[in-house]
Amino acid sequence: MAGVVDGNGYRDGVAAPHPTPNTGSAPPPSDAASIRACLTPRVAAEFDAEWEQALDRAKQSHDLTGVYELLHKWRHLAHAEQTAPGAYFRLLAKAEQITSTGENPDAAPLEDMQAVIRQRLGR
């Protein structure tokens, strides 16, 4: 990674070119500006809140691991949001449903999944 881009478009104190949204089939690059450029304003606000928390933790701990983990997570969330707009909030709603009910009504039974695995492995 060539450096971290802050919310103002600066990479390590140097102005970075304004990113353009990634419309290809691959996830965006793993930098905050590229990821944010792929998000709707509502989802970008969620990213911004997590970004600020990760930066605050990194300042306190002097460890960038959490920042890199956040960028990795959001890189894939941004890609999902581009390929299926609304994916982020659907994911949150699904997690809330599973957490509150203790069940995932869309889940396949374990035995079915094991059969699929055995079939793919040729067993």
**Residue 93 in tokens:** 């709603």
Q: What is the pLDDT of residues 57-73, one digit of tens each?
A: 999 999 999 999 999 99
Q: What is the pLDDT of residues 75-99, one digit of tens each?
A: 999 999 999 999 999 999 999 999 9
Query: Cα dist. 83→57, 63, 107, 122 in Å?
Result: 31, 32, 22, 32
3-state class of 122 per DSSP? Answer: coil
Query: Mean pLDDT across the stretch 93-113?
Result: 92
Helix (H, G, I), strand (E, B) or coil at 108: coil
| CB of 88 closer than 8 Å to CB of 81 | yes
Residue ranges per domain, the chain?
10-121
**How crowded is residue 21: how many other Cβ atoms within 10 Å of its Cβ?**
13
Q: In Å, what is the CA distance from 35 to each residue of 10, 12, 41, 78, 86?
A: 14, 17, 12, 6, 16
pTM attached to this predicted model: 0.67
